[in-house]
Amino acid sequence: METPIWPFTENQFVNATEGSYKKMNIVSADTDSKLYGAQANPAIQLLYAYLNPHRYGYLLKYVAWKSKMAAYHGKTATVYQLLADLSSIKIEEFDVKIQVVYRRGTEGYIKLMPNFRAPFQTGEIDERITALATLIESIGADPALAAVKADIVVFYNLINGARNEHQALEGQGNTLSAELELERVNCGNAMYYVLGGLMQVFSTNPSQIADFFDLETLRGHVADVIDLIFAGPVGSGQVINVLNPLVSQYIPGVTLRIKNTSTDPGVGQLFFYTAMTPTDGWTGIGQALSPGQEMTITISAAEFRAYFNVQNQSPNPQSFEVEIITS
């Protein structure tokens, strides 16, 4: 008879976040913030010091993955739009110009387009792009088709370049996914370590352990959404690095939507600002937002720093949201 698994020997943080990087981001940020706010207890201070580097390492990799996947999805849209153009207006335009020189059904026309427009309108992405390259090769140095060949070359370079970028982003995204998965497990193991530590701290009052974990999120379903919205809690006195050089869209000229998502009007303000390091505090340059306040800002070249941070200088926990709108 198989021995039942003892629940305490299972790492619920690793198990419950499998398949959802977003869930791990939410629950680890929550525990990190709550430990930060309870550091008056030396034992909890040690637990925070243990978890925070794991949490921060996960956050950096999560932001990089999220940004890369957003870029990949954006390039996917570009490729499919170009394919739609090829299968409709572009192949019609090229075909009509070829028929001016070689009427449909003639030897000259069949040599160039033996299957008419079908290869450009159906099939896999790379097959359709190859059909364009084949058409260019078949036209060769025919002086009567020099103008249409030039048009086809321009469009071929456009769609082929977009496809190459698309595939490169896919490969980079797969690499980051593998790296992020390792960070997810590492962060989950650190959360499990914290749970064990809290069991020691609150051995006579275990109900308090639950206060350090977002159990609703941990037990629920959280789908990964590839957007460029970054959100989370900010403990009293805490600095959160939201954007950094790993986020390729975070460059001079980027437009951000920033919001203090705290609901209690009496908790104070959050400070949003560019910084030289991920731990730099507010120096008075940037934006201070009260609970519920939202603003759209554009980072100029003069204001740009490698990092974009949020700081909570109040004695109360708060929360933030930052969205990359354009870059």
Give the residue, 293 or 253, on which the prediction is more confident. 293
Summarised one tens digit per residue, pLDDT across range 140-151 is 999 999 999 999
Mean pLDDT of 158-169: 90
Using 50, 70 and 90 to split pLDDT, how confident is the model at 201?
Answer: very high
Distance CA(59)–CA(243), nearest Å, equals: 10
Mean pLDDT of 221-241: 78
Mean pLDDT of 235-257: 78
Distance CA(22)–CA(18), nearest Å, equals: 10
Q: What percent of the chain has pLDDT over 90?
A: 52
Partners of 231 in the β-ladder: 321
As given in the structure block, the two tokens for residue 292 are 């519920």
- What is the structure's pLDDT at 208? 93
Report angle CA 9, 10, 12 to the nearest 5 degrees: 140
- The average confidence (pLDDT) of the chain is 88
- What is the structure's pLDDT at 242? 84
The answer to whether the predicted template modeling score (pTM) of the entire model surpasses 0.75 is no
- What is the structure's pLDDT at 26? 87
Q: Are 191 and 27 in contact (CB under 8 A)?
A: yes
Residue 327 has pLDDT above 60, yes or no: no
Q: What percent of the chain has pLDDT over 70?
A: 95
Give the residue, 169 or 296, on which the prediction is more confident. 296
- What is the structure's pLDDT at 176? 86
Helix (H, G, I), strand (E, B) or coil at 73: helix
Residue 30 has pLDDT above 90, yes or no: no
For 6-18, the DSSP string reads PGGGS-HHHHHTT
Mean pLDDT of 234-243: 86
- What is the structure's pLDDT at 248? 54
Summarised one tens digit per residue, pLDDT across range 96-108 is 999 999 999 999 9
Task: Give φ, ψ of 326 to 5 degrees.
Answer: -140, 160
Residue 74 has pLDDT above 90, yes or no: no
- What is the structure's pLDDT at 96? 95
- What is the structure's pLDDT at 172? 84
Distance CA(298)–CA(274), nearest Å, equals: 11
